[in-house]
Amino acid sequence: MPVIDGIEAIKQIRLNPNLVDIPIIALTALAMAGDRERCLAAGANEYLSKPIKLKTLADTIRSILGKRK
C-alpha cells in the first residue's frame, strides 16, 4: 500500500467508531513469522496468506458473520 501498511490501516479502521465492528480479514502475499499475531493484535478478525482458495475465504467470511449474530 502506498501510504500506510496493512497493520496501520487496520488500526485506523478500528479507531473509527462507525467502523469498529466491521469484520476485517487480513490477506497477505508475503507471510512472515509473526504476521498473523500482529494483524490480529491490530484488530483483524482473521488472517489468511495468499494464495488462498475461494472456499477458504468463503468459509472464513461465514465463520466471522456467524459469530456476529
CATH of the domain at 30: 3.40.50.2300
Residue 41 lies in a domain: yes
Residue 22 lies in a domain: yes
Question: What per-residue confidence (pLDDT) applies to 68?
Answer: 67
Residue 1 lies in a domain: no
Residue 62 lies in a domain: yes
CB 49, CB 31: distance < 8 Å: yes
Q: Is 7 exposed, middle or buried (0-12, 13-18, 19+ CB in 10 A)?
A: middle
| Residues of the domain holding 28 | 6-67
Domain count, the chain: 1
Question: What per-residue confidence (pLDDT) applies to 28?
Answer: 87
pLDDT in tens, 1-45: 688 999 999 999 999 999 999 999 999 887 788 889 999 999 999
Question: What per-residue confidence (pLDDT) applies to 10?
Answer: 96
Please give the model's pTM, rounded to 2 decimal places: 0.83
Residue 47 lies in a domain: yes
